[in-house]
Amino acid sequence: MRRILVGIKRVIDYNVRVRVRPDGSGVITDGVKMSINPFDEIALEEALRIRERGDADEVVAVSVGADETQQQLRSALAMGADRAILVKAENAVEPTGVARVLLKLIERENPRLVILGKQAIDDDCNQTGQMLAALWERPQATFASKIELKGDSARVTREVDAGLETIDVDLPAVCTTDLRLNEPRYIKLPDIMKAKKKPLDVTDMAALGIDPAPLLKVVKLEPPPQRQKGVMVKDAAELVMALRQKGLV
């Protein structure tokens, strides 16, 4: 079966202002709206469009997280994914751990293509796709703004510093999505109801033979310093003098 695996991450909604806990041990999530990582929504939308074009038979949404992550996977099913898999993890899992989980699922699901968001808006690591490709020993096409499947290969237009770059990669492969790839569809109420009947399998990292122990230790989180009030100057000379007083010129 021509299958596409899509990674989904549960993050604080991008419209919510993130607040750091008073003790600096993390960010406040109690009572905070959580959503699918926006880049992952784009990845899922692209997988659905590929299936609708007839270049895939099944789209499987995958996530690593706590039980609450089922809510985001149900949203992915409502968007159009055929089924979902949750790998339970009570604590945050680093990109290396997520890549190892995805590799185990790839060995089981045998997908033609794996599509991930290029990064998550909570940690901005931008590492999971690249790590997965290295562990899987398959080609990767990152920062995709266009994906075309042609037989046993994919033509991917990438966003790079110099502009756009088009490459061909053999399938199976890993693609990570950029913002300009597409605009995710709106989820309708009937689709939400249908999603409740779609399969959602739950397993854990131990069952996959993966040690969830982190490699990094977060010592403390601090909010960014509050912006200082701007100062009005009369002319360029006064501006230069003010900058010199601050040691900026």
Q: Tell me the CATH architecture of domain 3-224.
A: 3-Layer(aba) Sandwich (3.40)
Mean per-residue pLDDT of the chain: 93
Domain ranges of the chain: 3-224
CA distances from 14 to 43, 67, 95, 126 (A): 17, 21, 20, 17
User: Do you know the residue count of the chain?
Assistant: 249
Q: Is 157 helix (H, G, I), strand (E, B) or coil?
A: strand
| CA-wise closest residue to 41 among 81, 70, 96, 92 | 81
pLDDT (0 to 100) of residue 158: 95
pLDDT (0 to 100) of residue 249: 78
- Range 203-208, long-range pairs (CB < 8 A, 24+ positions): 203/85, 203/86, 203/87, 203/88, 204/87, 204/88, 204/89, 205/64, 205/87, 205/88, 205/89, 205/93, 205/97, 205/101, 208/87, 208/101, 208/104, 208/105
Q: In what order do the strands lie in the sheet with 58-65?
A: 163-170, 153-160, 140-150, 173-177, 113-117, 3-8, 58-65, 83-88, 200-204
pLDDT (0 to 100) of residue 9: 96
pLDDT (0 to 100) of residue 22: 87
pLDDT (0 to 100) of residue 45: 97
Angle at 205 between CA 111 and CA 80, to 5 degrees: 40
Reported as a single tens digit per residue, the pLDDT across 186-241 is 999 999 999 999 999 999 998 999 988 888 888 888 888 888 888 888 899 999 98
Q: What residues contact 31, with CB distance under 8 A and at least 6 apart?
A: none
Spatial distance between the Cα atoms of 118 and 135, rounded to a whole number of angstroms: 17
pLDDT (0 to 100) of residue 73: 97
Q: Give the 3-state DSSP-derived string for 184-224, with helices as H, strands as E and coil as C.
A: CCCCCHHHHHHHCCCCEEEEECCCCCCCCCCCCCCCCCCCC
Residue 247: pLDDT band (50, 70, 90) is confident
- Has this prediction a pTM greater than 0.85? yes
Residue 36: pLDDT band (50, 70, 90) is very high
pLDDT (0 to 100) of residue 29: 84
Spatial distance between the Cα atoms of 99 and 136, rounded to a whole number of angstroms: 9
Reported as a single tens digit per residue, the pLDDT across 110-166 is 999 999 999 999 989 999 999 999 999 999 999 999 999 998 999 999 999 889 999
Please give the share of the chain, as a percent, with pLDDT higher than 90: 71
Q: DSSP H helical segments within the chain, as ranges?
A: 38-52, 70-79, 95-109, 128-136, 189-195, 236-245
Q: Is the pLDDT of residue 1 over 80?
A: no
Residue 2: pLDDT band (50, 70, 90) is very high
